[in-house]
Amino acid sequence: MVGMKLSAEELKNGKLSAETLELAIQLIKVNGYVLFEEALPRAQVENLYDSYVDLLDPYFEKNREVILNPGNGFNDGTNHVRLYLPFEKPYCDEAVIANPFVTEIVDQLLGEDCLLTYFATNTSMPGGKVPQPVHSDTSSRYGDRHPANLPIANLIVNYPLVDVTENNGPMEIWPGGTHLHPDNWYAKNAFSKPKLAEHMHSVKMLMPAGSILIRDDRVWHRGTPNKSDKHRPNIALIYSANGPRTGTIQIPQETYDQLSDKAQQLLRKELIGYPVAEPKH
């Protein structure tokens, strides 16, 4: 089984039971990720999808050539796009940025003073021909100076905005330990992940729209080509352990003032009092 189903009571109360919370935390520690299936209301996810497509499509038309062929050997031929989101409704809804199923987990793994540091999307668009190279979303902190595994520093939270199937470009993950290597394994000069991954066990993240995927940012994974005729977007947020930070997410003061205490705390080091940023890839 890839994902966990939350109970009707957990969904109604917006609170994980003590057992689910503990299981989820242990799963992230040993397996690198946990997936809660269909945890956001369908109507909210459909609204997010519709708004997102209205944002993505004109942006894509304007920037088609650079997006499709960035020339970096990473997204060339994949039809994958990473788009930063403007900090406005419906994207900055509390259920997205401070979802209680997520905050309970990130608080325990990263500390209650953790931060929300990234507000974007990854979309596998129709027509991709090749998968991305297998990669982790982090780099080595100490290189060869510290050949030991480090504590979790960042958790990535993905919300798929459509049902993800074999056919529409599921993210593929190499679980079970690819986040537990010594720090220097996440450096650019580490042994080729794509080469090793070919001989390792992987899992496709098939999940209903509105699921919540929480993963250690070191877990090896890749985007795969979308063979359907509809975008497959994942919202992608990063929660990070507290530390020195120069904020990047632009949040108007009025928007910030209306956030819950928890969301304000998560975003306290971002660019508060700045206008909403235009979408960019």
Ligand X SMILES: O=C(O)CCC(=O)C(=O)O
Buried b (16+ CB within 10 A) or exposed e, 189-212: ebeebeeebeeeebbebbbbbbbb
Please, which of residues 114-133 interact with ligand X by CB under 6 A? 122, 124, 132
In Å, what is the CA distance from 236 to each residue of 78, 137, 217, 220, 230? 18, 12, 11, 16, 19
Residue among 156, 136, 119, 129 nearest 75 (CA): 129
Q: Which of 221, 225, 240, 263 binds ligand X (CB under 6 A)?
A: 221
Binding mask 75-104 for ligand X (x = CB under 6 A): -----x-x----------------------
Residue 211 binds ligand X (CB under 6 A)? no
Task: Provide the phi-psi class of 219: left if phi over 0, else alpha when psi is between -120 and 50, else beta.
Answer: beta
- Smallest separation, CB 146 to ligand X (Å): 25
221 versus 231: smaller Cβ distance to ligand X: 221
Count CB atoms within 10 A of the CB of residue 60. 19
- Give 155-212 as a DSSP string: EEEEEESS-B-TTB---EEE-SSTTSS-GGGGSTTSSPHHHHHTTS--EE--B-TT-E
Please, which of residues 142-201 interact with ligand X by CB under 6 A? 171
Residue 234 binds ligand X (CB under 6 A)? yes
80 versus 179: smaller Cβ distance to ligand X: 80
- Smallest separation, CB 265 to ligand X (Å): 27
Residue 269 binds ligand X (CB under 6 A)? no
User: Which residue type, as a one-letter code, is found at position 27?
Assistant: L
- Smallest separation, CB 125 to ligand X (Å): 11
Q: Which of 32, 175, 223, 225 binds ligand X (CB under 6 A)?
A: 223
- Smallest separation, CB 21 to ligand X (Å): 26
Q: Which residues contact ligand X (rule: CB under 6 A)?
A: 80, 82, 122, 124, 132, 171, 221, 223, 234
